[in-house]
Amino acid sequence: MPLDEPFPLKAVPSRVAYALLLEFKGRCPSLREVDQIPDKHWLTMPGMGPASLEMVRSIIQARAPQAPGHTAPRNLPDAELLRRLEQLQENLRWLEAQLNARMSVDTRRRPHLHRRKQAARNDVDNSDYESEGSEAPNPRSYGLRRLRIRN
């Protein structure tokens, strides 16, 4: 598993590497071990500030396997989780608006396709008509063109 490999100490500044080694009593920790330490604790370590912590977290995230669903780390505070949720909801609303705009433009550009699709849906809904005493269905309702026979 990628999180069980050693943390790349050469990828961070020496003061950050020293803080990591200090926390783990001189041994090189795994990515998982570094990830399990809360941010609050890391920020109390000498040589580890918010920018350094962000660098460490980005290294861990880059090497972590991307799981479906993109689960959030367990150690995020509620305010950060709420901020991420609001950002995702805003992105979803934007995507929905884009899709609606494209669908309405597409319908205005090619209204005949919209009518054909609607006719096809109606035909499926009315497919249980009785053939006795009823007229044959109109070929245009199926999107078929009339054939002209020339002599």
pLDDT category, 135, cuts 50, 70, 90? Answer: low
Same domain, 21 and 57: yes
Our count of domains for the chain comes to: 2
- Write down the residue that tokens 């799981």 correspond to: 67
Is the model's pTM score more than 0.75?
Answer: no
Report the Cα–Cα distance between both ends of the chain, in Å, rounded.
76
The mean pLDDT value for 30-37 works out to 90
Q: How many CB atoms lie within 10 A of CB 11?
A: 13
In a domain, 150, yes or no: no
| Domain-embedded: residue 146 | no
* CA 79 – CA 70 distance, rounded (Å): 18
Inside any domain, residue 121: yes
The answer to whether the CB of 11 falls within 8 A of the CB of 2 is no
Report if residue 132 sits inside a domain.
no
Same domain, 17 and 58: yes
Residue 42 lies in a domain: yes
Does 149 reside within a domain?
A: no
Range of the domain at 49: 2-63
- Over residues 55-87, the pLDDT tens digits come to 999 988 888 766 555 555 667 788 888 888 888
Cα gap 32→113, rounded to integer Å: 54
